[in-house]
Amino acid sequence: MIIKNVTATPSGLIVLWADQSSMTFSWFWLMDHSDDSQSVNSQTLQRNVDTFSIPLDIVADAAGLNAAATLVKINWPNQQITTISCLRLCQVAGKVLDDEQLSNAHSKTYWLADNMPDTLPSISYQEVMDSEQGVLNWLENIDCYGFSLVTDTVATEKATIALAERIAAAQKTIFGTHWPLSSDVKHHDDSAYTTDFLAPHTDACYYYNAAGLQMFNCMEFDGSGGESVLVDGFAIARAIREERPDLYEVLSKVAVPGHYKESAVHLAAERPTFRLDRRGELEQVSFNNYDRSPFILAAQDQEKFYQAYAEFNRHSMNQENWIKIGLRPGTALIFNNWRCLHGRMGYSGRRYFYGCYHDRADYQSRMRTLQKTLSL
């Protein structure tokens, strides 16, 4: 039992937690968050509460725990009775994970030069294709390390699509739903379609819903160089937050615009390098100096921004922080584009990948539902 007791007062409901700390919930909030069957559809989680008809100064007549201490029952002045689950109160107070946070049973491993993974996280193609547990293991690799290899893949476009669809339908962008990645591709002018070195970056800074995952399956390789490079952007953020909190704040506040232009396409979006969630936790790293579009700040802010931006670049260009992977047919790489930066060493010869993006909400939905069903 996490809630020991509740006390109704004119200013709200005081909840005493098992650890003896307490928190006061306003009556307005409690009515707005009622989760009984009249207030919320338990199947779809859609709300039926008419938030805007609740008086801001509403005060309940009475409130108390049920016998099992699983619900708070509230009597309102209009004779209405609502309930809210104790679990919901614990979740919003941060005492337990809420329904929409992913399980943290597999803790995240952030890696830089001083803390590289001993072995590269990987899973076999067959394991992913054969079982739901295999898909969950794959997604948890990505959640933990920010990336995963898939070994023993089939080097065909059809098999790549089948592999990707084990997570969810791919995210369609101007590059299509599934796309070839090779210097032979001539219908996009992006630097990705060259043989040049590409500094570590995140993709799609010019989209508001930048890809959550990016996957490449190697179809052909006959040449030299061309290793894929990964850097853990969250580990960089953590290092900057510890060493230079002033620069971390700049990178979490200054919106950096990005753009992409080709015939009949002109995308533009912006967000801070470190985008924080409503709890103040880092949600997304965005860094792509190739695609940054022009912007100006007040002189003092600009100097601080460039200092902070260069500090990020110093970490992301430090090769000791890189994982380099020479992909060959039979291996696919998938990574979290909101966490890991990727790059590529220059190369000569032929290098042909086939890949796709996944929307972040889609892959998190798959992981959330697998965690629920497979842990039953």
For Fe ion, the binding residues (CB under 5 A) are 203
Minimum gap (Å) between residue 360 Cβ and Fe ion: 16
Helix (H, G, I), strand (E, B) or coil at 101: coil
Name the residue nearer to Fe ion (CB basis): 12 or 355.
355
> Which are the contacts of 11, defined by CB distance < 8 A and separation ≥ 6?
24, 26
Minimum gap (Å) between residue 159 Cβ and Fe ion: 22
Minimum gap (Å) between residue 142 Cβ and Fe ion: 17
Name the residue nearer to Fe ion (CB basis): 292 or 304.
292
Name the residue nearer to Fe ion (CB basis): 8 or 181.
181
Name the residue nearer to Fe ion (CB basis): 15 or 204.
204
Name the residue nearer to Fe ion (CB basis): 261 or 372.
261
Name the residue nearer to Fe ion (CB basis): 203 or 359.
203
Minimum gap (Å) between residue 214 Cβ and Fe ion: 7
The burial class, CB within 10 Å (0-12 / 13-18 / 19+), for 278 is exposed
Q: What residues are paired with 217 via a beta bridge?
A: 332, 354
**What is the distance of C-alpha 33 from the center of its chain?**
26
Minimum gap (Å) between residue 234 Cβ and Fe ion: 18
**Spatial contact of 376 and 136, defined as CB atoms under 8 Å apart:** no
**Spatial contact of 296 and 302, defined as CB atoms under 8 Å apart:** yes
Name the residue nearer to Fe ion (CB basis): 93 or 174.
174
Phi-psi domain of 317 (left: phi exceeds 0; alpha: psi -120 through 50; beta: other): alpha
Name the residue nearer to Fe ion (CB basis): 203 or 311.
203
**Strand 22-25 with 12-17, pairing:** antiparallel
Name the residue nearer to Fe ion (CB basis): 8 or 204.
204
- Cα separation, 68 vs 320, in Å, equals 55
Minimum gap (Å) between residue 180 Cβ and Fe ion: 14
Name the residue nearer to Fe ion (CB basis): 83 or 321.
321
Minimum gap (Å) between residue 141 Cβ and Fe ion: 21
Minimum gap (Å) between residue 122 Cβ and Fe ion: 21
The H-or-E segment that residue 133 falls in is helix 132-145
Minimum gap (Å) between residue 290 Cβ and Fe ion: 9
**Spatial contact of 89 and 70, defined as CB atoms under 8 Å apart:** no
DSSP code per residue over 239-308: HHHHH-HHHHHHHHHSEEEEEEEETTEEEEEEEESEEE-TTS-EEEE---SSSBPP----HHHHHHHHHH
**Spatial contact of 318 and 178, defined as CB atoms under 8 Å apart:** no
**What are 196's two structure tokens?**
């040049």
For residue 250, how many other CB atoms are within 10 A of its CB?
Answer: 23
**Spatial contact of 191 and 290, defined as CB atoms under 8 Å apart:** yes
Minimum gap (Å) between residue 123 Cβ and Fe ion: 23
Q: Amino acid identity of 297?
A: L
**Spatial contact of 243 and 307, defined as CB atoms under 8 Å apart:** no
Closest residue to Fe ion using C-beta atoms: 203
